[in-house]
Structure 1
Amino acid sequence: MTDAPSPAPGRTGLRAERVSRTAGGALVLDGVTLAPRPGALTGLLGPNGSGKSTLLRLLAGVLAPETGVVTLDGDPLRGLPRRELARRVAVVGQHADTQVGLTVADAVRLGRLPHRRAWSPPTAADEEAVRSALARTGLSGLAHRTWHTLSGGERQRVQLARALAQEPRELLLDEPTNHLDVRHQLDLLALVSGLRLTCVMALHDLNLAALYCDHLVVLREGRVAAAGPVAEVLTERLVADVYGVRAAVTHPAPDGRPHVRYLGAPAGRG
């Protein structure tokens, strides 16, 4: 993995500053701060219900924080036009479906909508962006296939290609490896980790996070339990405190990235 590029002067990127959000009267996020490093892959970890998806929706501008602020290059998201935000920030969800018989190329072309005027045909720049996105995700040979003929792994790559066709600087991914087999999980994460975009990705699998992420933010009950470089965050104590599981964490050669081996729940816990 190459070093992340330095941000341009005055560009602080996407940041959440002490954001809070409630849902159904319950506090889902409580004073969370997140400042992803430019060009790096930040993994967002935590048990179910810890607030990962809500935080990603705040970063995408889909939800607004009730306290705190989300900014893009220092400007609050709430003041930015939706089209401008969509040109900068792309989102890949857990899964997608459609009742329309789109081809792969047509699905990827949807990523160009923020760059086009209403009802205007695609430009040469649009088509080049689509070709590039298809090539980067290994989908050029599938461009004319229809969505309903694709496997789950292929559909996730189409989602990623659509996001790349937006030509974003920030990419948000909400558990993109869910429903994928091991091979497709590894393929997708290897692709994402090599993009050199500012990425924030929610994950459940701690070992996948350790293998591909540069930095981690761990949520517990809507608060940040730990944040920092992968090797500093993924510890036996953290796994026990946040997930309620005993684990052995080793740092095998050659890269020294942590590996988590689960030993079971502590005595007295279900």
Structure 2
Amino acid sequence: MNHPVRTSEEGLRADRVSLGIGGRILLDGVTLVPRPGETIGLLGPNGSGKSTLLRLLAGVLGPSAGVVTLDGSPLNRVGRRAVARRVATVQQHAHTQTELTVRDVVALGRIPHRRSWSPMTPDDLAAVTRALERTGLTDRADQSWHTLSGGERQRAQIARALAQEPGELLLDEPTNHLDIQYQLDLLELVTGLPVTAVIALHDLNLAAMYCDRLVVLKDGGAVAEGTPSQVLTPALIEDVYGVPVEVTPGSDHPVVRFLRRGSAPPGRTGPDRPPRAPDLPAGAAQERPG
């Protein structure tokens, strides 16, 4: 997709950010500059720094070096309420012991726009209604949060984020533990929103299908950045994830196939090497019911 040209200070960006805790480097000099309306996928194994980078972008953590800015101003100078009006986050899991309806959960997104203890205004109510409609949850609005499926809960969290009316949306592995239908529905929803999105993902094929650009992290550093076709190569995937793969060019995006360890290279079988078992699509081992 085409994106308008942005100035060097527009939007949310991370400039050579690092973070160390307890003598351990969690993130080391990473730069991220999303373009307006773009969907960026953060890839990398567990512990590579994806969640840490998202927390820095959200202002939940402060970098030990470098800076995160919003329209050119460091987040700590913008103020938490002002940041919350622009930047919404969706975590992997959301839990609450409080009995809430879906509408109650979505209405939490209006907190940055309201004064403490003030009632919902007509603008607040309209924003909640639009968010429910956009996520297909209007008929679930008065249903208990606790009765929703995993995929519906994730949609409700996205609706809560949309009710904030953000310009930037940060999602930390939102497809984990969802079945295939919910994974696809959720990413179709996110990439169709009028926001700039940064999504941490494990599934390489989903990242290739839905992200405009990918940033790959390893041991806290960025090791690759570019379009899915530029980034998802067998050499890089084996270096970062430690697994052999085949990557097939597609009409819209590359397709990644994991290979069984010790299997014969393509086209090589013989009496001393049994035929290779069918390869699994990337991320298949992670699919769980939603």
Amino acid in structure 2 at the alignment position of 1:85? V
Superposition map of 1:252-263 within 5 A: 252-253=250-251, 255=252, 257-263=253-259
Distance 2:111 2:171 in 1: 20
Distance 1:230 1:196 in 2: 21
Give the secondary structure class of the aligned counterpart of 1:68: strand
Give the secondary structure class of the aligned counterpart of 1:264: coil
Amino acid in structure 1 at the alignment position of 2:205? N
Distance 1:93 1:266 in 2: 37
The 8 Å contact of residues 244 and 266 in structure 1, kept in 2 or not, is answered as: no
- CA deviation map 1:238-266 (0-9, x unaligned): 1111111111101123x2x0000011347
Amino acid in structure 2 at the alignment position of 1:205? D
Which residue of the other structure, out of 80, 85, 88, is the alignment partner of 1:87?
85
Larger radius of gyration: 2
Which residue of the other structure, out of 198, 201, 206, is the alignment partner of 1:203?
201
Match of 1:39 in 2: 37
Superposition map of 1:136-155 within 5 A: 136-155=134-153
With structure 2 as the length reference, what TM-score do the two structures score? Answer: 0.88
Amino acid in structure 2 at the alignment position of 1:218? V
Change (3 A) 1:79 1:265: farther
Distance 1:71 1:93 in 2: 21
Superposition map of 1:220-259 within 5 A: 220-253=218-251, 255=252, 257-259=253-255
Amino acid in structure 2 at the alignment position of 1:174? D
Distance 2:101 2:185 in 1: 22
- Count, aligned residues: 263
Distance 1:72 1:40 in 2: 16
Gaps of 5+ in 2: 264-290
- CA deviation map 1:17-52 (0-9, x unaligned): 111111232111111111111101000000110000
Which residue of the other structure, out of 163, 166, 170, is the alignment partner of 1:165?
163
The 8 Å contact of residues 249 and 258 in structure 1, kept in 2 or not, is answered as: yes
The 8 Å contact of residues 215 and 227 in structure 1, kept in 2 or not, is answered as: yes
Match of 1:29 in 2: 27
Gaps of 5+ in 1: none
- CA deviation map 1:66-104 (0-9, x unaligned): 000000011001111111000000000001011111100
Distance 1:67 1:15 in 2: 14
Distance 1:144 1:266 in 2: 53
1:12 shift after superposition: 1.2
1:196 shift after superposition: 2.8
1:4 shift after superposition: 3.8
Amino acid in structure 2 at the alignment position of 1:158? A
Distance 2:18 2:75 in 1: 15
Amino acid in structure 2 at the alignment position of 1:202? A
Distance 2:63 2:260 in 1: 37
Question: What is the identity percentage for the equivalent residue pairs of Structure 1 and Structure 2?
Answer: 64
Distance 1:22 1:162 in 2: 31
With structure 1 as the length reference, what TM-score do the two structures score? Answer: 0.94
Distance 1:162 1:74 in 2: 27
- CA deviation map 1:219-255 (0-9, x unaligned): 01010110011111111111111111111101123x2
Distance 1:266 1:6 in 2: 47
1:151 shift after superposition: 0.5
Change (3 A) 1:58 1:119: same
Give the secondary structure class of the aligned counterpart of 2:259: strand
The 8 Å contact of residues 40 and 196 in structure 1, kept in 2 or not, is answered as: no
Amino acid in structure 1 at the alignment position of 2:236? L
Distance 1:258 1:10 in 2: 30
Change (3 A) 1:76 1:189: same
Structure 1 residue ranges (4+ consecutive) displaced by more than 3 angstroms after TM superposition: 2-7, 264-267
